[in-house]
């Protein structure tokens, strides 16, 4: 009787199919993670470069009090205000003198702090006072201004605030306008042109049914006060929905 032949051992592969599948899965997972990190990095880089700005021209309907404004996204300063909504206020920024919003063409104006005269900032809210800045000249400001004015740029007259008043350190500029209330502007003038900011001077006006428009600009733009006032008024009126 022949003795049974010894069992021949099976030759097992050095790398099993299961191991190959696991390695392939890990490689695919790592590739997917790398792609996601790359995409997220690009998006983060783009967002950092935009610094809260947007070049989108999508329009939003914003209702403030009795007034209805239709505004493109790229002139709305803050991201959380870029939506159709009932609002207490909306903040805008515009290039000067073109009155344009943020775009590839204008981005250097929004990122270059060394040229504050290139931007004008606006805050639009429901009016809480019966008079705008022009209307407050005689009943309020006259009492806190020095009596002797000095000539200012482009036909303006400069009045310094009294040192014992709540406006100490500020300068007020006025100008007569035929058929209209006197122009009035408040400024905290910089010590030098280099120290100028985009908020050196401010003025508020009433527009629409019940809107108060507060706008700010660099003292470097004082010679252009009349063009700025007319442009801001026309710009807002053009974006009011009847």
Kindly report, residue by residue over 17-74, the tens digit of the pLDDT.
565 566 666 677 766 665 655 554 444 444 434 569 999 999 999 999 999 999 999 9
Closest by Cα among 202, 231, 226 to 215: 202
In a domain, 111, yes or no: yes
SS3 69: strand
148 in Cβ contact with 167 (< 8 Å): no
Predicted pLDDT at 19? 55
Tell me: do 19 and 71 sit in the same domain.
no
- Residue 63: give the domain boundaries: 59-238
Mean pLDDT of all residues in 111-123: 95
70 and 90 assigned to the same domain: yes
pLDDT of 103 over the 80 cut: yes
Tens of pLDDT, residue by residue over 121-171, are 999 999 999 999 999 999 999 999 999 999 999 999 999 999 999 999 999
* Residue 38 and residue 65 in one domain: no
Q: Considering the chain, what percentage of its residues have pLDDT values greater than 90?
A: 78
Tokens 């900032």 -> residue: 121
Mean pLDDT of all residues belonging to the chain:
88
Structural domain includes residue 1: no
> Are the beta carbons of 167 and 159 closer than 8 angstroms?
no
Are 70 and 106 in a shared domain?
Answer: yes
């Amino acid at each position: 009787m022949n003795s049974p032949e010894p069992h021949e051992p099976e030759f097992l592969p050095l790398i099993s199919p299961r191991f190959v599948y696991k390695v392939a899965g890990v490689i695919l997972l790592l590739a997917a993670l790398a792609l996601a990190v790359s995409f997220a990095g690009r998006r983060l880089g783009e967002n950092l470069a935009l610094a809260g700005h947007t070049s989108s021209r999508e329009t939003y309907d914003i209702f403030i009090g009795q007034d209805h404004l239709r505004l493109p996204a790229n002139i709305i300063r803050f991201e959380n205000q870029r939506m159709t909504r009932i609002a207490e206020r909306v903040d805008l920024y515009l290039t000067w003198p073109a009155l344009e919003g943020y775009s590839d063409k204008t981005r250097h104006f929004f990122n270059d702090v060394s040229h504050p005269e290139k931007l004008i900032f606006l805050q639009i809210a429901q009016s809480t006072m019966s008079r705008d800045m022009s209307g407050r000249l005689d009943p309020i400001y006259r009492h806190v201004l020095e009596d002797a004015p000095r000539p200012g740029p482009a036909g303006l007259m400069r009045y310094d605030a009294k040192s014992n008043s709540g406006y100490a350190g500020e300068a007020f500029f006025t100008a007569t306008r035929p058929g209209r209330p006197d122009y009035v502007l408040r400024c905290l003038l910089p010590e030098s042109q280099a120290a100028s900011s985009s908020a050196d001077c401010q003025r508020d006006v009433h527009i629409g049914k019940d809107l108060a428009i507060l706008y700010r600009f660099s003292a470097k733009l004082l010679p252009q006060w009349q063009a700025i006032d007319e442009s801001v008024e026309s710009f807002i009126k053009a974006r009011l929905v009847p």
